[in-house]
Amino acid sequence: MVQLRLPVQPDRDGSPAAAWIVRTEPPIALRDEGPLAGLRFAVKDNIDVEDVATTAACPAFSYRPQRHASVVQRLLAAGARLLGKTNLDQFACGLNGTRSPYGAVPNAFNPAYVCGGSSSGSAYVVATGQADFALGTDTAGSGRVPAGFNNIVGLKPSKGLLSTRGVLPAAQSVDCVSIFAPTVGMAARVLQAAHGHDPEDPYSRKLKLVDRPFPARFRFGVPDRLNFFGDELSRLAFVQAVQTLQELGGTRVAVDYRPLAGAGALLYESALVAERYAALRSFFDGRDGDIIEPVRSIIGAGCGYSAAEWCEAQAMLRSYGQLADVMWDRIDTLVVPTAPTIYTIAQMHADPVALNRNLGAYTNFVNLLDYAALAVPAAMRPDGLPFGITFIGACGSDWQLAELGQRFHHATGLPQGATGVPLPPPESIPGLAAPRTVKVAVVGAHLSGMPLNGQLTERGATLLRSAHTAPDYRLYALPGTTPPKPGLLRVAPGSGARIALEIWEMPLEQYGSFVAMIPPPLGIATLRLDDGTQVQGFSCEALATEHAEDISEFGGWRAYLAAQTERVA
């Protein structure tokens, strides 16, 4: 294996070499088969690859590991091929991608703008199609902000789901390995291959992930206070994203953002920052010339806190968590801008601390409060830069977020990253069980556009197709019903008419409440369709049709109502 350490200048394919630390020739591979066979990936340079130097963007810190990180080993065993290691904000400290001696990683759409960090190189190589997926790390948003800035997916799993053995800590108790991919489906496939308990990781957990999707009608929380730092383009893009979610069946619910913001502020403005210092203490002390600013100042701020102050900060964090968790009684997922704005590289160099803090306005609290998150592309702004949103859920909701995130991503019609390639068809999310549903045929007031159709849609039912009964039924206009309703009566085979109907699919858990709303003389029976299949559907008691008008000649309720309207006109 030859390691190609790249200079900070355009690479052979025209992309900035600052995105790469090392490329391996040929790619590292264990096998040619498996669920990820044929896929190429890269890893952030704070994740160990056997016999390839880990620098964390600090050459003086460099060491050569003797083992792959657990997550790398799992991906290689699944058939993926490792291309090399990618640039990052030094020691994974930053959300902008400019804090590296190897150079600032540019935005994939406009090189004057930041790529986002700290996992900047991993996001860039996925967005430009140089890798099929990549690993980053996420302590405070590093696996999400670069995804939002480069029109790709950033999956931040529940803490402990992916092993961090062989990953240089930033703040070990809240660190996560993250996944960048052009689509949610691919990110989910990688998560399926990579996750699993690891006894060598002190923070690994045996998590039972929820295996059912959110309902078709879902509730999404939005912070009751949003700050886009004067960026009107991002604000409008978020407004459009909220509208898209509502069109997909979501109901917007305002949530109190104060406890979330309070928790996020603790990461750098309390004794919790001592964990960043603890991760590097043996190297950090006395190495002033080897660590760049502002990384040195940020990590160094953790030196002065006492153990008592750290305990106080932990108690305050738990208090914020208790206040925040009540929102899950009212919502299925929380939706936030992945980042509220974006800056040029020049702006970031001029004010690196304050502007970096702004980028983490909606990311810092997630790991501290033990949530899962998924950053998904939402729009291309009029200035040609991407905008993304993040779905946040309770610990263990990873597959649910993936299913909803994929629904949203495909509704945007955006291409994959900066490649211009259209999104492929949606994939099955691997960790979800097949939904339990029931099909029900409707013939009258529940038809789409009719007065009672809301009883179906509010229960998450979706229209599958239009169809007709076998010629074994008669349709009657029932007198005195409000709203007007027909009755479908089964008669001798071949002595009736083919009656138009719609077939809807409803979550099984909603079916009982739907049937309970059906008033007599109507009920549910097994209907025979003209293609020979059977389905549950509306029927009527024979006694109720004795004095009702037989409208079978119209072939369906909709045609009958249209004829009545024409007659009145």
Specify the pTM: 0.81
Q: What is the mean pLDDT of residues 19-27?
A: 93
Residue 523 or residue 460, greater confidence = 523
Superfamily name with CATH number, domain 2-412 = Amidase signature (AS) domain (3.90.1300.10)
Strands 437-442 and 462-468, by their bridges, are unpaired
Q: How far apart are CA 183 and CA 416, in angstroms?
A: 7
pLDDT at residue 14 greater than cutoff 60: no
Q: How far apart are CA 121 and CA 336, in angstroms?
A: 24
Catalytic residue among 70, 119, 142, 204, which? 142
Q: How many CB atoms lie within 10 A of CB 147?
A: 38
Q: What is the mean pLDDT of residues 224-253?
A: 96
Q: Residue 396: what pLDDT?
A: 97
Q: What is the mean pLDDT of residues 110-128?
A: 97
Query: In a 3-state reduction of DSSP, which class is residue 514?
Result: helix
Burial category of 153 from C-beta neighbours within 10 Å (exposed 0-12, middle 13-18, buried 19 and up): buried
142 is catalytic: yes
Q: How far apart are CA 103 and CA 248, in angstroms?
A: 42
Q: How far apart are CA 115 and CA 129, in angstroms?
A: 15
What band does 9 get if pLDDT is binned at 50, 70 and 90? very low
Is there a contact between 429 and 399 (Cβ–Cβ < 8 Å)?
A: yes
pLDDT at residue 11 greater than cutoff 70: no
Query: In a 3-state reduction of DSSP, which class is residue 309?
Result: helix
What band does 434 get if pLDDT is binned at 50, 70 and 90? confident
Q: Residue 569: what pLDDT?
A: 60
CATH fit for domain 437-568, picks 3.90.78.10, 3.30.360.30, 3.10.490.10, 3.40.1280.10 = 3.10.490.10
Of 245, 238, 237, nearest in space to 220 by CA = 245
208 is catalytic: no
Contacts of 559 (CB under 8 A, 6+ apart): 500
Q: Please report, for the chain, the start and end positions of each structural domain, with discontinuous segments joined by +.
A: 2-412, 437-568
Q: How far apart are CA 64 and CA 83, in angstroms?
A: 17
Burial letters for 9-47: b for 16+ Cβ neighbours within 10 Å, e otherwise? eebeeebbbbbbbbbbeeebeeeeebebeebbbbbbbbb
Residue 366 or residue 249, greater confidence = 366
pLDDT at residue 73 greater than cutoff 90: yes
Average pLDDT, the chain: 94
Q: Residue 226: what pLDDT?
A: 97
Catalytic residue among 44, 85, 156, 159, which? 44
Q: Of 46-55, 145-154, 183-192, 425-434, which gets the smallest average pLDDT? A: 425-434
Output the DSSP codes for 354-391: HHHHHHTTTTTHHHHTTEEEEEEEEEE-TTS-EEEEEE
Q: Residue 15: what pLDDT?
A: 52
- The torsion angles phi and psi of 236, rounded to 5 degrees, stand at -65, -35
Of 180, 137, 165, nearest in space to 74 by CA = 165
27-48 tens-digit pLDDT? 999 999 999 999 999 999 999 9
Q: What is the mean pLDDT of residues 52-71?
A: 97
Q: What is the mean pLDDT of residues 374-399?
A: 98
Q: How far apart are CA 58 and CA 78, in angstroms?
A: 31
- The torsion angles phi and psi of 520, rounded to 5 degrees, stand at -65, 150
455-471 tens-digit pLDDT? 999 888 999 999 999 99
Residue 6 or residue 281, greater confidence = 281
Q: Residue 460: what pLDDT?
A: 85
118 is catalytic: yes
What band does 160 get if pLDDT is binned at 50, 70 and 90? very high
Is there a contact between 21 and 55 (Cβ–Cβ < 8 Å)?
A: yes
Helices 184-194 and 398-412: angle between axes, nearest 10 degrees: 160
Catalytic residue among 70, 118, 234, 397, which? 118
pLDDT at residue 230 greater than cutoff 80: yes
Q: How far apart are CA 80 and CA 42, in angstroms?
A: 10
pLDDT at residue 10 greater than cutoff 60: no
pLDDT at residue 435 greater than cutoff 90: no
Query: In a 3-state reduction of DSSP, which class is residue 220?
Result: strand
